[in-house]
């Protein structure tokens, strides 16, 4: 391959500068190296060679994860396989169990990050992490991710040793509700109620134990598929959950906080209140359930507020659109619409008190829907049966006609046989009356 002709660049000399009169630049590029030659009258710059292959110049450098392949737990019970998730306080890894009783059982392990141990408020973070472990131990329910074990991992890094607390939980196969809604957009009423009921069932145990989740959202709700094409719901991440008797004020004080505040949050939680309670979770449940049934948020024309005051402005100043006014939701039962809208009241005292109170209402609505569907199904089956079996109807009609004809024949025969006798009796009665 012929080299391209040299490129010549001329720069006019200024009296105050010490530039050379001209600079000639010639670049030769081959498949294995790049050679750049710069020639000038004065000064002379030596040739520079770059021996790195072109395809390697922009290759992304990967950072080795020090946890992968390591063992942790008592007697090195768990071997870490891969990273499966990240959070504000740490990372979650997939691990395999090495024990005769649970050979090759997969589990998920959440480690508190090294950075958290170096933070100024490290004691508060460690307390929050341990509190999350305590909640999972206390909340033993089929609709809450199952706690298995906890321990400390000694991490050696750069001549430093870090004692990282971790806990082990069941490994869930499936998808988050958020991912499921991306595929489905909105769910049919029956499927939505099936999922809603399980969410409320798990949260009911938390509320009854004086615990509020404070971070309910589709990303923290996991769906485990079953053999009958349904899902077992698991509530995840009690990392910022709080006990009602230890609640403190959490206040957002500047505009940046408003922009960064999440969507699935109650108005009082954004503003910060000292007596945040279970009704805050009820509000976020209303947001989630509304989205499950409609595929939309319950607000419209909120861009101005979102730009100026964030979700604080939207949740406090925008009234939610009734669920039945959303496209595709026109046939949703009024009772279900009213239940969801009650959750979204601005005033916490106008909502359901807790998950249990809402669960009772959802169960009642589900039963009514099932009865209505059952009645409709029976009627439809009767109609289908009459349409699909016309010969049976014909036979029935024919039997009725034959029975009617037989009745008429018997009647005529009876009259014919007994008429002379009746006439004779009538004549005898007349003669006796005359005499």
C-alpha 24, offset from chain centre: 63
**In CATH, which superfamily holds the domain spanning 175-376?**
Transferase(Phosphotransferase) domain 1 (1.10.510.10)
CATH number belonging to domain 71-170: 3.30.200.20
For residue 306, the model assigns a pLDDT of 80
Annotated catalytic residue, options 14, 15, 179, 215: 215
What is the mean pLDDT, run by run of 10 residues, along the chain of 435 residues? 51 46 43 44 46 56 80 94 86 92 89 90 89 90 94 90 94 95 94 96 94 90 91 87 51 37 81 80 96 93 80 86 95 96 95 97 94 74 61 69 80 70 62 57
Residue with tokens 């989630």, as numbered in its chain: 288
Mapped to the 3 state alphabet, what secondary structure does 350-401 carry? HCCCCHHHHHHHHHHHHHHHHHHHHHHHHHHHHHHHHHHCHHHHHHHHHHHH
Instruction: Reply yes or no on whether 304 is catalytic.
Output: no
What is the C-alpha to C-alpha distance for residues 75 and 71, in angstroms, rounded to an integer?
9
For residue 46, the model assigns a pLDDT of 47
What is the C-alpha to C-alpha distance for residues 281 and 242, in angstroms, rounded to an integer?
11
| pTM over 0.95, yes/no | no
For residue 60, the model assigns a pLDDT of 57
For residue 316, the model assigns a pLDDT of 86
Segments in 309-354 forming alpha helices (H): 310-317, 334-343
């Amino acid at each position: 391959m012929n080299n391209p002709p040299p490129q010549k660049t001329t720069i006019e000399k200024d009296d105050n500068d010490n530039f050379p009169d001209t600079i000639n630049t010639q670049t030769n590029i081959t498949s294995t190296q790049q050679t750049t030659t710069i020639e000038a009258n004065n000064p002379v710059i030596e040739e520079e060679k770059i021996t790195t292959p072109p395809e390697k110049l922009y290759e992304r450098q990967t950072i080795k994860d020090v946890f992968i392949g390591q063992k942790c737990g008592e007697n090195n019970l768990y071997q870490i396989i891969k990273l499966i998730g990240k959070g504000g306080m740490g990372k979650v890894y997939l691990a395999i169990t090495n024990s005769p009783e649970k050979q090759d059982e997969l589990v998920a392990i959440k480690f508190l990050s090294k950075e958290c141990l170096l933070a100024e408020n490290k004691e508060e973070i460690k307390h929050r992490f341990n509190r999350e472990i305590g909640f999972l131990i206390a909340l033993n329910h089929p609709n809450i991710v199952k706690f298995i074990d906890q321990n400390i991992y000694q991490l050696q890094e750069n001549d430093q040793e870090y004692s990282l607390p971790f806990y082990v939980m069941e490994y869930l196969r499936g998808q988050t509700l958020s991912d499921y809604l991306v595929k489905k957009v909105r769910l049919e009423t029956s499927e939505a109620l099936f999922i809603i009921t399980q969410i409320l069932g798990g949260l009911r145990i938390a509320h009854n134990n004086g615990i509020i989740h404070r971070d309910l959202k589709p990303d923290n709700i996991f769906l485990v598929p079953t053999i009958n094409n349904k899902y077992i719901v698991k509530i995840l991440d009690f990392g910022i959950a709080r006990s009602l008797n230890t609640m403190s004020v959490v206040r957002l004080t500047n505009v940046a906080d408003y922009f960064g505040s999440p969507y699935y949050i109650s108005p009082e939680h954004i503003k910060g209140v000292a007596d945040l309670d279970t009704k805050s979770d009820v509000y976020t449940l209303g947001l989630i359930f509304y989205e499950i049934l409609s595929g939309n948020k319950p607000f419209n024309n909120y861009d101005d507020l979102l730009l100026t005051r964030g979700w604080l402005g939207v949740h406090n100043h925008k009234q939610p659109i009734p669920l039945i006014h959303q496209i595709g939701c026109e046939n949703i039962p009024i009772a279900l619409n009213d239940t969801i809208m009650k959750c979204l009241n601005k005033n916490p005292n106008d909502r359901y008190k807790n998950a249990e109170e809402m669960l009772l209402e959802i169960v009642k609505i589900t039963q009514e829907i099932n009865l209505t569907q059952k009645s409709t199904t029976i009627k439809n089956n009767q109609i289908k049966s009459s349409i699909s079996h016309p010969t049976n109807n014909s036979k029935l009609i024919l039997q009725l006609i034959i029975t009617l004809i037989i009745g008429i024949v018997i009647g005529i025969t009876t009259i014919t046989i007994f008429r002379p006798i009746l006439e004779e009796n009538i004549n005898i009665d007349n003669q006796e009356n005359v005499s």
